[in-house]
Structure 1
Amino acid sequence: MPSPRPFIDPATGELETARIISEAVPLAKLIGVCVTGSLPPYAIVFFGSESSALGALLALLGDFILAVGAGVVLMYVIARGIQLAGE
């Protein structure tokens, strides 16, 4: 017997928009934290030291923050998907 699909009402077959939004808001907040964390190094590079060694290091720091943030977001999505599949 197939398991019920998440975010779909089994009685009507329609999407549960309230549940989709309730799952999307924490994900958007997590993405926002990662992007906000990477903005200060990029702002310093953009407004002051774009052609120096410090600028290159700060740009790499911003890239690193975004890469780690993307990994955290992916782990959250996978863990939450496993939780939803178990319900």
Structure 2
Amino acid sequence: MSSPPFIDQASGELDLGQIRAEAFRLAGLVLLFGGIALLLFLLTLLVGPGRLLAGFLTVLSQFVLAVGTGIVLMYVIARGIQLADE
């Protein structure tokens, strides 16, 4: 029988290295999509309110956040399945 994910087999304690590695990967994805959405939002502020381009950039930043959320959730599920099979 395999050990549960994030548990060191030798000591039975939490494997902080593996937890840190997974957290950095997940944080990288969140920062990627959050950064893109923030950039689009800042461009919206530079364009000014009431312009058609500002509306388009707002919708685009919301789309980036929605797609990014979906990708992060898919990553978490896929990685969880991978860790459960190891």
TM-score where L is the length of structure 1: 0.84
SS at match of 2:14: coil
Residue number in structure 2 paired with 1:15: 14
SS at match of 1:9: coil
Identity %: 47
1:25 matched to 2:24? The reply is yes
In 1, Cα distance between equivalents of 2:3 and 2:15: 13
**After the TM superposition, which segments of 4 or more aligned residues of structure 1 sit over 4 Å from their partners?**
none
Q: Which runs of 5+ in 2 are unaligned?
A: none
In 2, Cα distance between equivalents of 1:26 and 1:73: 10
Matches within 5 A, 1:20-59: 20-59=19-58
In 1, Cα distance between equivalents of 2:44 and 2:84: 43
Q: Which runs of 5+ in 1 are unaligned?
A: none
> What's the Cα RMSD here?
1.7
TM-score where L is the length of structure 2: 0.85
- The number of residue pairs the alignment matches comes to 86
SS at match of 1:33: helix
